[in-house]
Amino acid sequence: MFYIFPSWLTFIYVIVQFQRQNQDYEKTKARIMEIANYVDKFYRALNIRVPLIGLEVWTERDQCIITEEPNATLWSFLQWRQKLKSRKKHDNAQLLTGVTFKGTTIGMAPLEGMCSLENSGGINVDHSELSIGAAATMAHEIGHNFGMSHDHDSCCVEATADQGGCVMAAATGHPFPRVFSYCSKRDLDRYFQKGGGMCLYNIPNMNNLVGGKKCGNGFVEDGEECDCGEPDMLHVLCSFPPSSPSVPYACQLKQAGTMCRRPAGACDLPEYCTGASPYCPANVYLLDGSSCQYGMAYCYNGMCLTHEQQCLQLWGYGNENGTEVKCRGTYVYSTQDGQGDLPDPGLVMTGTKCGEGKVGSDQAGILWSGKY
């Protein structure tokens, strides 16, 4: 039995195929709103909301290099996304492009990249006239960011092939998938259990949602004291659903001290309802530098960053950590002319232990002073 941790995902879409929408900005915005609504609906079943917090349409020129090579496009976009992070608060960014990638690739995203500065994003081809087609691909790539691997043959029992199958299938087509498999839920549970997704627990500013305010969307906006959402999405952690059908949005607050968020891993702490708000308080976790994984790693931003975890993120399940070269990366990797330096995938993430009292920081080893 899995416990999927209720969470919030502040989300931004970045759109590039302006000409695909006949250079009509309003048509482009309407299409993206429809795609976003599909993605949000897919993830509600996992107790995850995906509000669209920003929309950027590149009308003049692309802000990163977009080619038929998906790997190069992904890393170029993720580098650009780091600059976006400094001017627009968000948790994850997805690129939707009209460029067709080589082979059969229609999307790509780093495994377990959610919330990290370097890897929280993905690229998607706008391959279908139907909005649900692009939404299924985007939900799939976000799934990789959440640590979900491709479904194997026996995973998807939630939907037949005629019903579209499951979102994390290695290959999809019409009819497009709408549900996540048992295996995907297991992968997500494991990701949260080890401290992934720490950025998702804090409530974003709902007044900045693309599309404006809407009663019944589950988000408390200006002019609303409470919004419990639709009947199938009563996920607000510190309130009960309306007690009377005649007062559909009269939410009742839970008692102060009620646990509303369990610890997500060794570096996380529980949160409790305040009795004054329908939302769970902001997420808190152990201090950076706290020991975890039996002394083999340190906590950083609520996650226990182990070498094994990052090996899995880079190479996928079934691979093991090899001989360590502390805080060093791969010796050779390629880049294209004009693209600039790509991040070395062999370098550990900031906060990873690489010696007693030492952690990797900005891809270099430093002495981390403080109490451990």
Sequence ranges of the binding site: 140, 144, 150
Q: Are 7 and 48 in contact (CB under 8 A)?
A: yes
Strands (E), the chain: 7-8, 11-15, 48-49, 52-57, 92-97, 107-108, 121-125, 239-240, 252-253, 259-261, 271-272, 291-292, 297-300, 303-304, 358-360, 365-367
- Give whole-number Cα distances, 162 to 132, 172, 202, in Å: 16, 11, 38
One of 34, 69, 129, 141 is an active-site residue; which one?
Answer: 141
Binding site for Zn(2+): residue ranges? 140, 144, 150
First to last CA, the chain: 34
For residues 65 and 268, give the distance between their C-alpha atoms in angstroms, rounded to a whole number: 38
Give the tokens for residue 321: 């950590």
**Which stretch of DSSP H or E encloses residue 144?**
helix 131-145
DSSP code for 16: -
Name the pairing type of β-strands 7-8 and 48-49.
parallel
**Is residue 68 annotated as a catalytic residue, yes or no?**
no
Q: Are 113 and 145 in contact (CB under 8 A)?
A: yes
CA dihedral 239, 242, 247, 249 (to 10 degrees): 40
For residues 302 and 189, give the distance between their C-alpha atoms in angstroms, rounded to a whole number: 16
CA angle 65, 68, 71 (to 5 degrees): 70
CA dihedral 120, 123, 124, 125 (to 10 degrees): 170
Q: Are 75 and 99 in contact (CB under 8 A)?
A: no
Helix (H, G, I), strand (E, B), or coil: what is residue 312? helix
Q: Are 111 and 78 in contact (CB under 8 A)?
A: no
DSSP code for 23: T
Alpha helices in 45-111 (DSSP H): 70-87
**Count of positions (residues) in the chain:** 372
Positions annotated as catalytic residues are 141
